Amino acid sequence: MKVWNIPDTSNNVDVPEEVDDDPLILITPSGVSLRDVTLGNVIVTDLDGEKMEGDGEPSSETGMHLEIYRKREDVEAIVHTHPPYATGFSFTDKKIPRFEGFGEIRAPYMAEIEYAVPGSIDLVESASDGLIKEDVLLLRDHGVVTLGPDIFEAVLLAEFTESSAKTGFVIEVLGRK
């Protein structure tokens, strides 16, 4: 799967996998654009984040991903991106509206958490707590995390989130009626 619309190297995607009854995580390597990720260059870690296989280092956000899996047993894929519109919203006091089209609308705006340093234990804790009842979370001054029952749904939700942010931006520019 190629996520081509977000080409920088600070994005990451992972999925849990079980090999010989050992739970493992397949995560994108640090410093590699999502458009260049293949099964041949993913990093395999255990549930403690220790690298088991692969060249390079796992994402600096591996701890956040692992903690989300600990708190959400229903999640089978995590996508963490920094798309321009959604990330732009994260640097303002404006909220990304929720639109029909992807799940139940339980709140008028997408959930968000306060800024925490990328890779920090504060981000691990606040993001994993923020995603206990949400499948998408805006990280203040940082980016977006989406969850899914598989990689396709998590990527689709990431794309829908960015599309919602674009629509929200247009609404802000043109004004509400």
Q: Which residue has the higher pLDDT, 118 or 10?
A: 118
| Cβ atoms of residues 69 and 38 within 8 Å | no
Closest CA to 16 of 68, 80, 83: 68
Q: Which of 18, 53, 61, 134 is catalytic?
A: 61
Q: Which residue has the higher pLDDT, 80 or 15?
A: 80
User: pLDDT at residue 3 above 70?
Assistant: no
CATH dotted code for 12-174: 3.40.225.10
Question: How does pLDDT run across 90-100, given as a tens digit for each residue?
Answer: 999 999 998 87
- Is residue 61 flagged as an active site residue? yes
Closest CA to 78 of 7, 5, 141, 157: 157
The whole model's pTM is what?
0.90
Q: Where are the domains of the chain?
A: 12-174
End-to-end CA distance of the chain: 40
Question: How does pLDDT run across 14-66, given as a tens digit for each residue?
Answer: 888 887 888 999 998 888 887 788 888 899 999 999 999 998 899 989 999 99
Q: Which whole-number Å values give the CA distances from 65 to 14, 58, 80, 123, in the listed order? A: 8, 11, 9, 11
Question: How does pLDDT run across 135-167, given as a tens digit for each residue?
Answer: 999 999 999 999 999 999 999 999 999 999 999
